[in-house]
Amino acid sequence: MTGFLVPLGGYLRISFIDWTGHVAPVLFLCGCNYRCPYCHNPELVTLSAGRLPVLEVLEDIRQRSGFLDGVVVSGGEPTVHDRLPEFLSALKNRTGLRIKLDTNGSRPRMLGSLVTEGLVDSISMDVKAPWDRYPRITGHDGEPVRESLEILSRSGIPHEARTTFVPDLMTLEDLEMVREQIPLGVPWIIQTFRGGKTLDPSLEKGALPDREGLKFNFPDAIIR
């Protein structure tokens, strides 16, 4: 098993909110190809934080599997790890639990492979901005994310799109464009920026969203 271990930087033993309707632990993998200034897990962006004992964590989950509904694999960005399929396969085999993946959608080939191999049962994918603003927000082009959305639309796997609204970086018009990018029928979650610890320290005390205004302007979205 040591050949496909991934860098594990965080372990939440139980969560009631990271997978709607499920009681699930959350595994936070280190390493991310994006550098979103508002990232609230900046310590997970690089690989250096990945020091938790993976085998011990998997065993802990296995021992509690009778009380759990699934496992959430988050980050960082899990799909940057080429051996992610092996890790997810081991996670499924050892625990017998279903897996939800949190991803930024930047690696459609990897995502397609996970779907084809039946290694994920639910996916939450970030749609961070209008496609033409992706380079400014993430440092990368948005086309791979568009491709990932198309893969999910054909997959038959439950999935949702998520957008973090940061008033200092985005406008309501930007959110309107994001809504148009998301296929009809896909649940869209607008996550409200809360400040605090961020990759870019200048945003730590940035403007906070008007939640009621978001509910009024985007009644079709889930505001969190």
Q: What is the mean pLDDT of the chain?
A: 93
Task: Provide the whole-model pTM.
Answer: 0.94
CATH of domain 2-223: 3.20.20.70
Domain boundaries, the chain: 2-223
Segment 70-99 shows an average pLDDT of 96
* Edge-to-edge order in the sheet of strand 222-223: 8-15, 24-29, 70-74, 98-103, 122-126, 159-165, 188-192, 222-223
Measure Cα distances from 72 to 15, 43, 224 in Å.
Answer: 9, 19, 18
Dihedral (Cα; 208, 193, 129, 75), 10-degree rounding = 160
- 109 contacts: CB under 8 Å, gap ≥ 6: none
The radius of gyration of the chain's CA atoms, rounded to the nearest angstrom, is 17
pLDDT digits (tens, 9 = 90+) for 15-73: 999 999 999 999 999 999 999 999 988 889 887 766 889 999 999 999 999 999 999 99
| DSSP-based three-state secondary structure for 143 | helix
